[in-house]
Amino acid sequence: MKRDFTRWLPAIATIPNRKTVLSVVGVTALAGLAVGPTAVAAPITVGPHAGAVAAIDRAAGNSDTEATIVSGLTTAESGDDPDTDQPDRDELIPFGVQGAQSRIPLDNDQLDNARTIVEVAKETGVGERGAVIGVATALQESKLYNLGHLGAWNDHDSQGLFQQRPSTGWGSVEQIRDPEYSSTVFFEALKNVGGWEDLPLTTAAQTVQVSAYPFHYAQWEEQAADLVSQLW
């Protein structure tokens, strides 16, 4: 049975440069585990990480800050010139979406993190399609929040936008909590996946992330494509 993956996590702590880190005991990132940059696919299991739904509910209920929620970006908000061509939809979603799609409202911190992922996609040369894979992966792993250590509910030592693990070679804790760094190493790992451009999004993301729930990436492809179109 499909669980509710459309709940957003409130940002309740910050670090310098406006990088939001969620670091309370009793919260967990949804259904994702990034092991090492050169890992292979893990066995498929079903259902969310144990305790995830209850932990997220507690986090949302205990938040002392009121996030500013926006459902999307207009052309003016994204900073794009109305006459500038946006990425072609066929390039963003070349194989069509797979399965039912999820969508969440985004606050300013989430949008800032999405912008960082898109900018790093440009810098690393993975293009618009790579950006869609990156944003969709972060939507699944952290709901685009820069998560810190989650105490008892932490998925091993996974942290940051992509829930990367310091113990498996992704970098130091400080590096992984830097959205620019974590996006860079995600895309560099993606580029090492042979023929990633021709893979369905969930397959490309899973090959990098080695999640216990590989098909959950697919549900964010449409919202990720919309964000990349608006932010590119």
Q: What is the pLDDT of residue 33?
A: 45
pTM over the 0.95 mark: no
Question: What is the tens place of the pLDDT at every residue in 104-155?
Answer: 999 999 999 999 999 999 999 999 999 999 999 999 999 999 988 776 566 6
Task: Quote the tokens at residue 230.
Answer: 């608006």
Decide if pLDDT at 188 tops 60.
Answer: yes
> Distance between CA atoms of 24 and 13, rounded to whole angstroms?
9
Parse the chain into domains and list their residue ranges: 14-67+90-231
**DSSP assignments along 34-98, one per residue:** B--TT--PPPP--SPPTTHHHHHHHHHHH--S---EES---HHHHT--TTSPPPPHHHHSTT---
Question: What is the tens place of the pLDDT at every residue in 27-70?
Answer: 333 334 455 554 333 322 233 333 433 443 443 333 333 334 44
CA separation (Å) from 192 to 96, 98, 188? Answer: 24, 24, 7
